[in-house]
Chain A
């Protein structure tokens, strides 16, 4: 393995990019779990849907793919609301096994629907900025990666303000902290479930758009590995903890890329689970997890 400081910085940048995708996925998962106490195993398929929605709008309109976040996010929010209403609400409280089977079933339904609509073939789209590189600390970086990192930060800031400063956001947080208490205070908890699932799906959709815009290929089966990693991040960061998801996503993205750089590509996925096991041994509730969880 050869490399100087500029090579290390470059690997760090790739890790930050990967971390952005994982952060958006994991926060979505955490939101859903935090409010509904439901683990959505089909979360990776929502990332995949976000990718395909972006591709479809791009093929139809030719618009800048970054602008198409304004299409993919609302579409996925709507999809999330529909999924919550039709699939999870009827079985909520009937047992964890039912929730697990519903979300596993959704995986196959969404994958096969996507394969039927868009076919199995892999797709790729090109960013309008793909030929532009900028220099940061002496390291050449494609402009797209800077845009992706900035976009992720903006989404997180928007989410922060929503959860902290808006009535709806506070109601969601109240529901996640104490569902019965929230009900007693007049909060419509079922509406909060719908909202949290919708926003969670929207975040997965945003991750899908950013995935596509970075020039990675996508197909109907791409969601399973990122979803598994999102679960690992949620556990590493702490169940229900949004700061934990951010730190966990960054740790994982950077660790994976340094594992590829030092040990080889075969270690890329293994390192996620090594970190997960280490965190579970040292701090079972996760970095920011609460012991009550």
Chain B
């Protein structure tokens, strides 16, 4: 019995030692990047976009030999490892945990839903793995104080940025246009309704809207608010209550699979002849395909569109779309390009750090300053802020117009002036709200 016990112990020690040897070898052969994406569940359309764009980025970097690591004196290829968060908090925790503890990734990219990301942030913090988050706009994710977020870098505008862009547009362009067209007095406030996902993503955006109205004393009055559960597909009653409040515009905070039925039900079933605003995570080919004519004249706040290119990054934009189409036979969405850039950002940080050491990579990300790639950045540079490690984008608003040739709507940038292609238009069927 004692002999057997001794043999078993020796075997266990032996296995542990061998396992350690194998791990060590894999760590220097390749740069392992974990991609956190919703490959299943309600957000799977966006998850596929994230994964495909990450693969494209990795392929491009590897085609050039890989990532140069000074410590190793050579270039090493990127290996992407998929972590399916299943569009759920629990799925995200499971995926990230596996990526970190079993796959031993060097850093993570991706993350879409704020609720899902916030659930696994503590795992990332515990293991101090650098994480370049390309979604999760809620400030509750980037500015939380209960855990150490120093290894988390947010390559996306936060809720305040999105809300600011839309509120400024509403105040400076839409409100005067309505007052002018319908003969209202110039100081008539705009009547805004908000319909939002009942998660940290949705409440973050809703709060940001209120904050902007209050802090900048904007002549915008929130006349109705309605929330819905994530994954909802029947918005009729919520839209009916919003219609009853007679808004001039409706600010929607949704995922892609929610926005399409919401717009259709709003325009078609409930008869809400108003201007809908949507935020950037919905700028995806599937949105234009799904919403049909009901999306005409609605507004989309964005930083990348498969169908509209800001002049500043037009050639990079066109090249990315072309390469994506060649690789995947389709067009990418906004979340895809953000993740594509995140892979390049992470690779550059590793090169700058000269090592795969996670702390050094994190420090390199803190100090990183590289030219914008496809998305237009403030001052043309990708740099993470000192306080919350958020990068700053030049956001724009596009209005959707029907394209007969495409048989779908297409975005046209109407704001800000620096990126504008044409003027904002109030359609003939538009009905303003009434007090």
Contact = CB atoms under 8 A, between A and B. Distances in A.
A269 interface: yes
A121 interface: yes
Nearest to A132: B268
A119 B14 CA distance: 44
Interface stretch (A69-77, A89-97, A185-193, A214-222): A214-222
Interface stretch (A1-9, A56-64, A202-210, A242-250): A1-9
A2 B245 contact: yes
Contact of B226 (A130, A221, A258, A264): A264
A280 interface: no
Q: What DSSP secondary structure best describes chain B's contact surface?
A: helix
A124 B290 contact: yes
Contacts of B40: 115, 120
Given A2-B224, A3-B241, A269-B229, A219 B42 contact: yes
A48 interface: no
Contact of B229 (A120, A261, A265): A265
Interface in B13-37: none
A133 B271 contact: yes
A268 interface: yes
A260 B39 CA distance: 30
A266 interface: yes
A142 B244 CA distance: 18
A142 B224 CA distance: 24
Contact of B198 (A131, A145, A266): A266
Given A216-B234, A257-B237, A268 B229 contact: yes
Interface in B265-300: 265, 268-271, 286, 290, 292
B367 interface: no
Chain B contact-residue range equals: 35 or more
B227 A266 contact: yes
A3 B239 CA distance: 12
Contact of A121 (B45, B224, B237, B261): B45
Given A121-B45, A257-B237, A266-B229, A215 B265 contact: yes
Interface in A247-278: 257-258, 260-261, 264-266, 268-269
A274 to B, nearest CB: 16
A120 B238 CA distance: 27
Interface string A39-62: 000000000000000000000000
B240 interface: yes
Contact of A10 (B224, B240, B286): B240
Contacts of B245: 2
Nearest to B242: A2
A140 B268 CA distance: 11
Contact of B241 (A7, A122, A126): A7
Interface in B196-255: 198, 224, 226-229, 232-234, 236-238, 240-241, 243-246
B48 A14 contact: no
B162 interface: no
Contacts of B48: 121
Contact of A221 (B41, B229, B236, B268): B41
A215 B265 CA distance: 8
Interface in A112-162: 115, 119-122, 124, 126, 130-131, 133, 140, 142, 145
Nearest to A265: B228
A10 B243 CA distance: 11
Give the residue among B42, B237, B292 with the most A Cβ atoms within 10 A.
Answer: B237
A269 B198 CA distance: 13
Nearest to B271: A140
Contacts of A100: none
B257 interface: yes
A11 interface: yes
Interface string A10-28: 1100110010000000000
A216 B262 CA distance: 9
A11 B239 CA distance: 10
Interface of A: 1-4, 7, 10-11, 14-15, 18, 115, 119-122, 124, 126, 130-131, 133, 140, 142, 145, 215-219, 221-222, 257-258, 260-261, 264-266, 268-269
15 contacts: A2-B244, A2-B246, A3-B241, A3-B244, A120-B40, A124-B264, A124-B290, A215-B264, A218-B233, A260-B241, A261-B238, A261-B240, A261-B241, A265-B198, A266-B229
Interface of B: 39-42, 44-45, 48, 198, 224, 226-229, 232-234, 236-238, 240-241, 243-246, 257, 260-261, 264-265, 268-271, 286, 290, 292
Given A14-B237, A219-B257, A222-B233, 12 more contacts: A2-B244, A2-B246, A7-B244, A10-B240, A10-B270, A121-B286, A124-B260, A219-B42, A221-B41, A221-B42, A268-B232, A269-B229
